[in-house]
């Protein structure tokens, strides 16, 4: 990233994102470091042998990650909470910048476009919200997307860890249906995910039983669908005026064709083409946002990344600009009507990501990963 045409927009994007976050624009309902404090409490309960899911915050939230995630959060207790947040946000900025560079560099060359694309992602509401809250979601999303982009066993490790930390990215195992991906990527994802999940269960067996035996399937521990900041299909139906129970039921019904679509795309994906693998990873992440009962803004970092990736194909430009705008502005804080624009944006991205790319948009075979050519 030494090209000034790339570096300058990125640095400006980072600076502007920090200014917006520090100014508090559009984030009146956010509390600085709130989610990071929940992670610290989960790690503290793990070390004390307490139930990971018995502590309720004063705002009515719980620790909602598998036991394995609590193990990863233990190092947070080595430093004061204020220091943790500074370091955590520094890691988020560094990883997001590097990860987006890797993703966007795979679909376009360096220059102003690449730097502007990275800056757009860093300025997006999902990333800004993650910085304020101290969220792990950007790391999970980038782990899944980069895992699919790399496509081999190293990528499988990233994708498996993402699924083990937050469960929903485990939808990537649909790649088992792809013959070329099966032994090289999908099976390692299953094995690594199972091993680290078992590790969490061995460390906190009672919590693992309660989590996988019921809490995982209980969306009420997160929020009601009608919450304005919910971007999922269930949230869209609730914003339209339906009851929470009906919205949840409609969300489940509409999730079925989306999950079938992921299966279809997984089967037909040309796993030797890194652009196809990237689109599949983005599709999985975007679909999980739609089918989850509750999807906060910070869960949806794949949406602005997908907008920039698809714009690199120089097709559907006006449509993609409209789909990207809701993720740049804090529209969810402006009422349930504007909140509908984000589920709609996600649906548009699903359609564009699942469409077969044109031949000119595909990566030349000479640019494919060496390991891929050996499969």
- For residue 368, what pLDDT is reported? 40
- For residue 96, what pLDDT is reported? 95
Does 359 fall in a domain? no
The CA-atom distances, in angstroms, between 326 and each of 129, 231, 300, 329, 348 are 14, 11, 12, 5, 12
- For residue 27, what pLDDT is reported? 59
Class of residue 367 by CB neighbours under 10 A (exposed 0-12, middle 13-18, buried 19+)? exposed
pTM (two decimals): 0.91
Does 15 fall in a domain? no
- For residue 26, what pLDDT is reported? 57
CB atoms closer than 10 angstroms to residue 252: 13
Does 367 fall in a domain? no
Does 146 fall in a domain? yes
Tokens (6 digits) for 305:
């990344």
Helix intervals (H) in 106-169: 112-123, 125-133, 137-150, 153-166
Separation between Cα atoms, residue 54 and residue 273, nearest integer Å? 46
CB 225 within 8 A of CB 241: no
Q: Total structural domains in the chain?
A: 1
Each residue's pLDDT, cut to its tens digit, for the chain (375 residues) gives 667 777 888 888 888 777 777 666 655 556 888 999 999 999 999 999 999 998 888 877 889 999 999 999 999 999 998 899 999 999 999 999 999 999 999 987 677 888 889 999 999 999 999 999 999 999 999 999 999 999 998 999 999 999 999 988 999 999 999 999 999 999 999 999 999 999 999 999 999 999 998 888 777 777 788 887 889 999 999 988 899 899 999 999 999 999 999 999 999 999 999 999 999 999 999 999 999 999 999 999 999 999 999 998 878 889 999 999 999 887 666 677 788 899 999 999 999 999 976 654 454 443 344 444 433
- For residue 298, what pLDDT is reported? 92
- For residue 374, what pLDDT is reported? 35
Does 374 fall in a domain? no
Does 88 fall in a domain? yes
Closest CA to 371 of 143, 154, 179, 161: 154
Does 13 fall in a domain? no
Separation between Cα atoms, residue 355 and residue 134, nearest integer Å? 35
Does 216 fall in a domain? no
- For residue 365, what pLDDT is reported? 43
Instruction: Render pLDDT for 260-295 as a digit per residue (tens, 0 to 9).
Output: 999 999 999 999 999 999 999 999 999 999 999 999
- For residue 5, what pLDDT is reported? 73
What is the domain range of residue 87?
30-209+229-354
| Close Cβ partners of 238 (under 8 Å, ≥ 6 residues apart) | 224, 225, 226, 227, 230, 244, 247
Instruction: Render pLDDT for 36-55 as a digit per residue (tens, 0 to 9).
Output: 999 999 999 999 999 999 88
């Amino acid at each position: 990233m030494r090209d000034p045409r790339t570096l300058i927009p990125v640095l400006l994007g980072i600076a502007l994102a920090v200014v917006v976050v520090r100014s508090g624009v559009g984030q009146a309902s956010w509390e600085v470091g709130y989610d990071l404090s929940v992670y610290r409490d989960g790690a503290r309960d793990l070390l004390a042998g307490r139930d990971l899911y018995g502590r309720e915050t004063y705002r009515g939230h719980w620790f909602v990650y598998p036991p394995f995630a609590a193990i990863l959060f233990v190092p947070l207790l080595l430093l004061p909470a204020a220091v943790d947040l500074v370091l955590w946000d520094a890691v988020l900025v560094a990883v997001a910048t590097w990860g987006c560079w890797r993703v966007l560099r795979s679909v376009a060359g360096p220059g102003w476009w690449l730097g502007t694309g990275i800056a757009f992602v860093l300025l997006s509401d999902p990333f800004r919200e993650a910085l304020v809250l101290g969220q792990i979601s950007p790391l999970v999303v980038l782990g899944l997307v980069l895992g699919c982009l790399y496509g081999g066993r190293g990528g499988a490790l990233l994708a498996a860890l993402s699924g083990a930390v937050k469960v929903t990215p485990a939808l990537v195992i649909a790649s088992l249906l792809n013959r070329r991906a099966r032994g090289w990527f999908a099976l390692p994802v299953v094995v690594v995910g199972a091993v680290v999940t078992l590790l969490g269960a061995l460390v906190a067996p009672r919590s693992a039983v309660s989590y996988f035996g019921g809490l995982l399937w209980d969306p009420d521990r997160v929020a009601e669908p009608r919450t304005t900041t919910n971007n999922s299909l269930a949230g869209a139906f609730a914003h339209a005026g339906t009851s929470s129970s009906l919205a949840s039921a409609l969300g489940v019904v509409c999730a079925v064709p989306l999950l079938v679509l992921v299966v279809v795309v997984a089967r037909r994906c040309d796993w030797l083409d890194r652009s196809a693998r990237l689109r599949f990873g983005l599709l999985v992440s975007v679909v999980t946002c739609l089918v989850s009962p509750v999807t906060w803004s910070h869960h949806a970092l794949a949406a602005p990344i997908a907008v920039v990736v698809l714009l690199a194909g120089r097709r559907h430009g006006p449509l993609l600009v409209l789909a990207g705008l809701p993720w740049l502005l804090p529209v969810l804080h402006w009422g349930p009507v504007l909140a509908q624009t984000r589920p709609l944006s996600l649906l548009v991205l699903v359609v564009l990501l699942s469409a077969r790319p044109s031949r000119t948009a595909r990566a030349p075979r000479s640019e494919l990963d060496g390991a891929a050519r050996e499969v």
